[in-house]
Structures are given as structure tokens and as C-alpha cells.
Amino acid sequence: MQFGWSAPFIPILQGPDSPVKITDEDIDWLESIYMIGGLAGLPLTIYMVDRIGRQKTVLFASSSSFTAWILIGVANHVNYLYIARFLTGLAADVAFVAGPMYVAEIADQKIRGFLAGVIFLMMLAGFLILYGVAPYVPFYACSIIGGIIVGIQLVGVPFMPDSPYYLLTKGKHEKAKKHLQWLRGREDVDKELEAIAIAVERQKSERGRPQDLFISKSNRKAVIVMTVLNTAQHFSGMAVILMNLHSILIAAGSVTISSNVAGILFSAIMLLAATVSVFGIDHIGRRILLAVSSFLTGFALLAVAIFFTLQKRGLVGPESAWIPIVAILVYAAVFKCGLGIIPIVMTAELFPTKVKAMGMALADLIFLLTGLASIQLYQNLVRIYGLDVPFYIFAAFTLITAVFSIVYVPETKGKTLEEIQYILKGEQPPAAKKEGTYVTDDVVESPQ
């Protein structure tokens, strides 16, 4: 809800009945400060996920988000909104690292992709709530809804089991066993727990320095994959469209469908597409979904760019405004089928445990920096050249990503975390799972 907050609320804040008076400069900052808050949260993320655990880190993020909703609800000056946007950027940064890490460590590999994808389904449900409610209710109403949702999380998370991996790193063997039994729904978890314990002990002796992200061949490839995919998410227009959807559709000049209705359709289609993707991710595979999604997303963005070029030259009128609306709705469907969901799933899969916090923090840093860069690029190019130029850039980058996905991205479907490390090294993985034996984590050096 906070990620897409500016899309419906900026037009409201610009209106004559705005509860908070804002300027054009405020609009730019209200979008950018969300990403700046995320950047400020990176040191906290690196420290907290390994120091206090994944579960408690999520709880901290929920508290920050709850505070932000209160500030938005009572805001009578733009400074309240600035502080709230900063806090929610920080909260999202922490949650989108700790959440996927937690899920990857508690899940069986057969459903790991599905469970990690559920995080994004909740995000898309937030967009749908926001776009469907915000234009039709008082300014403070969405804060009440957001506060209730986060309040439920604050009450529920303390009762969740913690990651057995994290508990074993802290020497809490009995607690790790108890939590693993709860997660697996059975008493007999000794073999799996022993495999996790061996992996944890091995990793304690291995180096976990920042430079190890680049020294190791497997880590280096993981960094390259995540750099390109996280950059591609934003340079396919994700943050720009989610934060400026209503303004873009108003600029298209549609008289057949309002920007508010189109926003509801956009978020509903994204949620439906992501749901289909989540159920198919462990069957179809990450790489093929990523490549197909990137190709189709690029063509949808290209259609939007061409329309605004023709509009700028006076070659199309309001009767053709359905073209960018349809293209953006197609974008919602094809983007969330792969490019909009696969990177967050793969981030938690590619890095070995000893450098996972640093690797995911680096991926998140790239995600935030490129998000901020895409927003600034869009805002400046629109003022100078019009809406078409940034969409041409987004289309080109997305099509390049499709080729990269086919050529370079490894397939992690159905692979254990250990097998994935062998694949990243370019080596043949050993049997992932033998009768009565669990191989549940990664290695830094191969047996050779």
C-alpha cells in the first residue's frame, strides 16, 4: 500500500480540497524519499537479520510501518508525509530482505518458490486495496486500513517459529528442533536437523567477508544475476508506473474509462497474474517465466512509448487513448508473471548462507538505487522531452533483460540450496536428495 501510495494520492493532494497543501517539488520528493528511506535501512538490515534474527527483524519493520500510517492519518503538513514515506521505505527495505530470507530457510524446496511468491501477492493485494479505496474515501481512511493490517502482523509474528538455520547459528539446538518440528508437522526431523547443523558448522568456519561476494565464482555470478534483474525491475518502469499510474493515464486523455477505474483494473490484473505465476513457478521454472515475461513487457512498454510520440505530434486524439490503457493493463499481466516476481524469489536462493545477508543487502541496495534513478530519470525526461522518451528507454532495457535471462540466468526450479551453488560454479551437482538423507544448504567449495 505504501509503495503505490503516491499514485492515487498525488492527484488528491493537488486538488482544491487537499488536506495537505503541496508543491510540484513536494511531488518529486514524496516519490523519491521512499527509496531514500530504503537506502537508510540497509545498514540496519545487515545488522538485524544476523543479530536478532529474521522474525524479529520483520517485527521491527511492522512497527515502523504502523508509525508511518499514524503520521499519514493525522497529517496537516507535508513534513508529516515526508517522515512517513521515509519510515515506510525503511520498513520495506528491511521486510523485503528478512521476509524472503526467512521463507527460504523454513520452506521445503518443493514449495519454496510458491511461498516466497506469496510475499509479492500480499504486496499486490495492497495495491488493489489502495487503488480501489483511496479515490473514494476521506484522506485518512487508507491509514486506518493500513494500520489494521500491520496491527494484525504485529500481533501474529511473535507466535511464528524462527528459522532453524538462524537458531543453530546461535547454538540453540533444542529450540531449532522444536521449531523445525512445528514447521514440518512431524516429530521425526533429526536427519534434516543434523544436515542443517552440519551445514551451519561448516559455514561458521568459512569466510563471510564482503569481498567474498566477488572472490568466489558462484557468488560473483549470483551478484551479476541479481544486479541485472533488480535493475531490470525498475528500468522496466515498475516504480514509475506504480507511483504515477493515475497521472500517466490522465495524460493519455481517455474519455471512455477514468484513471481511477483503470488503476483498480491494473492492480487486479497484477494480483491475478502474480497468483498464476506463484502457482506455476515451481512447475514451469524461473528462467522461462523470466524470459517470456521480459519480452512481452518490453513490447507493452514500446506500445505506450509509440502512442505518446504520436500524441506529441498530433497524429492521435482522445479516441485512441484506449491504446496506452490496454498496453498498461497488458504490462500489468505480463510483468507480474515473471519479471515482477522472479527476482525476489531468486535473491533468497542464489547466495550461500554465510554471505546471504550481505548478498541480499547488496541486491536490495541495487534495487533501491535503480528505483531512485528510474524515478529521477522519468521526472526529468518527461519535463524536457515528454512521456514517450522514458518509455522507449524502459522498453529497450526490458528486451535486453529477456536475452540476458535466456543466456545467463541459472534455472533453480526444484533445486536444493546446495545444488544451486554447484550450478553457479558451472559444475554438475551431486544427487540432491537420497533415501533418508537431506542435503539442505549450500557449499562454498566443491569436493574437487
Q: Of 46-50, 109-113, 325-329, 443-447, where does the model show the most confidence?
A: 325-329
DSSP codes, 137-164: S-TTHHHHHHHHHHHHHHHHGGGSPPPH
**Chain segment 246-295, per-residue pLDDT in tens:** 888 888 886 667 778 888 999 999 889 888 887 777 788 888 899 999 99
Please state the domain extents for the chain. Answer: 6-162+182-425
pLDDT digits (tens, 9 = 90+) for 325-356: 999 999 999 998 889 888 877 877 888 877 87
pLDDT greater at residue 297 or residue 207: 297
**356 versus 202: which is more confidently predicted?**
356
DSSP codes, 57-110: HHHHHHHHHHHHHHHHHH--SHHHHHHHHHHHHHHHHHHHHHHHHHHHHHS-TT
Alpha-carbon distance 357 to 317, whole Å? 51
How many residues can be counted in the chain? 448
pLDDT band of residue 189 (cuts 50, 70, 90) is: confident
Digit-coded pLDDT (tens) for 361-408: 788 789 889 988 999 999 999 989 999 999 999 999 999 999 999 999
pLDDT of residue 205: 65
Start-to-end Cα distance in the chain: 49
Measured distance CA(303)–CA(15) in Å, rounded: 30
Per-residue pLDDT for 19 more than 70? yes
For 222, residues 6+ apart whose C-beta sits below 8 A from its C-beta are: 213, 350, 351, 359, 424
What average pLDDT does the structure give for the chain?
A: 85
Cell 487486479 found at: 268
pLDDT digits (tens, 9 = 90+) for 372-384: 899 999 999 998 9
The answer to whether 343 and 234 have CB atoms below 8 angstroms apart is: no
Q: How confident is the model at residue 429 (pLDDT cuts 50, 70, 90)?
A: low
436 phi-psi bin (left φ>0, alpha ψ -120 to 50, beta other): left
Q: What is the pTM of this model?
A: 0.74
SS3 of residue 7 by DSSP: helix
The arithmetic mean of pLDDT across residues 155-163, rounded, is 88
Task: At 342, list the grid cell.
Answer: 522472479
Q: Is the pLDDT of residue 309 over 70?
A: yes
pLDDT at 215 over 50: yes
Give the single-character DSSP code of 237. T
Who wins on pLDDT, 141 or 118?
A: 141
* Tens digits of residue pLDDT in 93-125: 777 778 877 887 888 767 776 787 777 788 888
Provide mean pLDDT across the span 210-220: 83
DSSP states of 331-348 as a string?
A: HHHHHHTTTTTHHHHHHH
- To which residue does cell 497524429 refer? 315
CB 337 within 8 A of CB 205: no
Residue pLDDT, tens place only, 55-85: 888 899 999 999 999 999 999 999 999 999 9
Report the C-alpha gap between 57 and 124 in whole angstroms.
22
Full DSSP string of 311-334: HHTT---GGGTHHHHHHHHHHHHH
- Is residue 446 a contact partner of residue 217, using CB atoms and an 8 Å limit? no
C-alpha cell at 70: 499514524
- 6-162+182-425, superfamily in CATH? MFS general substrate transporter like domains (1.20.1250.20)
Q: Which of 14, 254, 7, 20 is nearest to 133 (CA)?
A: 7
Inter-residue contact 337 to 293 (CB < 8 Å): yes
